[in-house]
Amino acid sequence: KLMTLNEKVGQLNQYNGDWDAAKGPITKDDEKQQQIRDGLVGSLLNIRGLQHTTQLQKEAMKSRLKIPLLFGQDVIHGYFITFPIPLAEAASWDIPAIELAARVAGTEAAAGGIHWTFAPMVDIARDPRWGRIMEGAGEDTYLGSLIAAARVRGFQGKGIGNTDAVMACAKHFAAYGAAVAGRDYNSVSMGLPEFWNVYLPPFKAAADAGAATFMNSFNDLNGIPATGNAYLQREILKRKWNFKGFVVSDWGSVGEMINHGYAKDNYDAALKAITAGSDMDMESRSYKNHLAQLVKDKKVPLALVNDAVKRILKKKFEMGLFDDPYKFSNAAREKAAMKNPAHMQAARDMAKKSIVLLKNENKILPLSKNIKTVAMIGPVVKLVRENLGFWSTEWPDSNSIVSQWEGIKNRLGPDSKLVYAQGCGFTDTSRAGFAEAIAAAEQADVVIMSMGEHRAMSGEAKSRSNIHLPGVQEDLIKAIHATGKPVVVLINAGRPLIFNWTADHVPAIVYTWWLGHQAGNAIADVLFGDYNPSGKLPATFPRTEGQIPIYYNYFNTGRPAQNENDVNYVSAYIDLQNSPKYAFGYGLSYTSFEYSNLKISRTAITKKESIKVSFTLKNTGSMAGEEVAQLYIRDKVGSIVRP
């Protein structure tokens, strides 16, 4: 009641800080700090470091009502210490480990003055052309829902208001991962069964886990931009799910409804966004410049503005910021969190569990630590920051990142020799380095190649029409394979890639995604058998882009192919096997496992009943290992067709 209309609108206004690379078109407001003192800003994002957040909070305390600022940041897979990219973590299928990763990130971010992370990203992705597949949990709704809830629990810890907890933000609401043709920001057209059965459940899981906030998505859904979509934000989220938090728009997405052709101008965009339930406007300034006028023009009831303001103020209260605006400005806490050995150990544990062993013919792996000579070849071998992947934060006095070269070098015995040749670049077509690489291979007993796509080839606005290993990398692999030496190929990427020749000819292949600060150590743990790889693919690997979208839980159709070469009037391609290169849930181990004694407790159940499935799982190999037991079921006669 104390607030003026302008102060209310101020709470709905979020600006990007000027201290970090923006993630979208940035407009300069050189008098931002004056607007903060005038109570016209509710939140800032991309403010890095305690000294900046503390200073800006002091400016906010000069305002008439002293309403504290919320500081938001994309803490997606780590803050001071970077964990594997989220898709890699999903490959671990280890829910407690994934929760711990978010717990560490939340602790570090809160110590760094951040109140709110724009994570977890819970978008189901069935299209590896889409660069943001790296940011979520892959293609499966069930695994994705478990991971969404785990990450919310991790970020929020014992509850928001604790000084080691940040508000979570389930994003991007909704169905952003279904962008047509895998092209980022593109339209989404989807029937309600697919929407409710595949894409919404991870958001519901995040809401049920207590996510403090949601972020809407850039895409239009069936013709209505998510930011202006009342079905999404009011009907489903706030009414049906009774969500009491607030919705922040994605970067500029309020104003982008003009580009969509859904709003005439920013005045109209502000009207449609607030009416549809977008509470906070990130960076478009539509609310700041037009919302008060819309209320005065009786286009927007004051009640809608009050509801949005209340949702935001409630979170500031719950965070304890009204009691102490500097609650998260503790230099000692920041210092302690910056270089915490337990956090680094958690990052290594998560990284080694995220690695997927795709092939291991003649048991080349694990390698002996006393190999006489190892050659490391490829564009990724000696890179350092590359291992952090997209959505990582780099600090001037950052913790040391363990490169793959360093990790292997530190693991080899004292009499072993390690030689190096880059061989080729990521995307250029030069073969000038091949000769040197072949020479390095010829003097080695084993060759470890580390290949892949550049870390900036996946992530936001990084869709690829061609997801093959880029450049001449596969030619280099062929050339090294031709030396006859045993070759292990590591593939680093933020998405499934296509590398059919390598897959068919190279005896050992390990998918290493982007593993963060501990990449080199985790890879050495696996290659030398200090950890028996247990990762399973969280997304399907296609044979060609022509198969996309391809996923394991497809409908059977009326003419299912009877085998992978069946083309006899069935749902198949006449020019390609009817199967993926690697299936969802696939991953090898250094040991072998046997399933037996499968039992089910009953053969029929009603809606309220359940079936107990039991089996005996036996490690039939010579090495301890972990197995992800997977159970796939199918409703054979449903009221709609089922996967």
Catalog residues that contact ligand GLC under the rule CB under 6 A: 23-24, 45, 74, 118, 171, 250-251, 460
Peptide bond into 538 cis (omega under 30): no
Smallest distance from ligand GLC to CB 638, Å: 35
End-to-end alpha carbon distance in the chain: 53
Report the candidate in 390, 376, 494 with the shortest Cα–Cα distance to residue 436. Answer: 376
CA distance readout (Å), 226 to 117, 232, 249, 375:
20, 7, 9, 51
Report the candidate in 160, 147, 171 with the shortest Cα–Cα distance to residue 99. Answer: 147
Strands of 361-400, DSSP E: 373-377
Contact 355, 533 (CB under 8 A): yes
Contact 423, 378 (CB under 8 A): yes
Return d(Cα 384, Cα 450) in angstroms, integer: 13
Smallest distance from ligand GLC to CB 45, Å: 6
Smallest distance from ligand GLC to CB 171, Å: 6
CA distance readout (Å), 184 to 118, 133, 218, 398:
18, 10, 9, 31
Return d(Cα 416, Cα 642) in angstroms, integer: 55
Smallest distance from ligand GLC to CB 606, Å: 42
Smallest distance from ligand GLC to CB 460, Å: 6
Place of tokens 């101008």: 265
The sheet that has 508-511: what strands, in order across it? 356-360, 508-511, 487-492, 446-452, 373-377, 417-421
Smallest distance from ligand GLC to CB 71, Å: 12
Nearer Cβ to ligand GLC (126/462): 462
Contact 587, 539 (CB under 8 A): no
Per-residue buried b or exposed e for 313-333, using 16+ beta carbons within 10 Å of the residue's own CB: bebbeebbbeeebebbbbeeb
Q: What is the sign of the dihedral through the CA atoms of 316, 298, 15 and 104? A: positive
Nearer Cβ to ligand GLC (153/171): 171
CA 354 to chain centre: 13
Nearer Cβ to ligand GLC (74/474): 74
Contact 469, 452 (CB under 8 A): yes
CA 318 to chain centre: 27
Smallest distance from ligand GLC to CB 337, Å: 22
The neighbour count for residue 603, using CB atoms within 10 Å, is: 6
Report the candidate in 222, 274, 209, 204 with the shortest Cα–Cα distance to residue 246. Answer: 274
Contact 46, 24 (CB under 8 A): no
Catalytic residue among 74, 250, 279, 525: 250
Nearest to ligand GLC by Cβ — which residue?
118
Report the candidate in 584, 581, 505 with the shortest Cα–Cα distance to residue 545. Answer: 581
Residue 172 has, within 13 A of its CA and on its CB side, a CA count of 26
Contact 252, 217 (CB under 8 A): no
Nearer Cβ to ligand GLC (334/460): 460
Smallest distance from ligand GLC to CB 519, Å: 24
Nearer Cβ to ligand GLC (216/502): 216
Contact 94, 146 (CB under 8 A): no
Smallest distance from ligand GLC to CB 132, Å: 8
Nearer Cβ to ligand GLC (249/422): 249
Q: How many helices (H) and strands (E) does the chain have?
A: 20, 18
Strands of 414-475, DSSP E: 417-421, 446-452
Nearer Cβ to ligand GLC (83/251): 251
Nearer Cβ to ligand GLC (250/279): 250
Smallest distance from ligand GLC to CB 248, Å: 8
Smallest distance from ligand GLC to CB 117, Å: 9
Nearer Cβ to ligand GLC (29/406): 29
Residue 220 known to be catalytic: no
Per-residue buried b or exposed e for 459-493, using 16+ beta carbons within 10 Å of the residue's own CB: bbebbbeebbbbbbbbbbbebbbebebbbbbbbbb
Return d(Cα 162, Cα 314) in angstroms, integer: 15
The sheet that has 246-248: what strands, in order across it? 169-173, 213-216, 246-248
Smallest distance from ligand GLC to CB 72, Å: 8
Nearer Cβ to ligand GLC (141/219): 219
Just list the catalytic residues.
250
